[in-house]
């Protein structure tokens, strides 16, 4: 992947993270099932970390 593609992917992941975090907040508020959202957040955190590692390789 090129650096620009990695930065775009990072932006996309961050956007997804914010959206899911908002959904999680709503689920917690209404005492819904939040485990799925928590799992998604953990997965996205791992993906973000991986993209940051790849970006560091360009610098």
**Angle formed by the axes of helices 3-29 and 35-58, nearest 10°:** 160
From first to last of the 59 residues of the chain, give the pLDDT tens digit.
799 999 999 999 999 999 999 999 998 889 888 899 999 999 999 999 999 999 998 87
| pLDDT at site 58 | 80
| pLDDT at site 5 | 95
| pLDDT at site 12 | 98
Q: Under a CB-based contact definition with an 8 Å cutoff, are residues 22 and 14 in contact?
A: no
Question: How far is it, in rounded angstroms, from Cα 53 to Cα 59?
Answer: 10
Domain locations in the chain?
3-58
Q: Give pTM, 2 decimals.
A: 0.87
| pLDDT at site 1 | 76
């Amino acid at each position: 992947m090129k650096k620009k593609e990695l930065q775009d992917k990072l932006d996309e992941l961050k956007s997804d993270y914010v959206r899911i975090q908002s959904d999680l907040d709503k689920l917690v508020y209404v005492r819904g099932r939040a485990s799925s959202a928590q799992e998604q957040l953990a997965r996205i955190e791992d993906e973000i970390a991986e993209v940051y590692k790849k970006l560091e390789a360009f610098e």
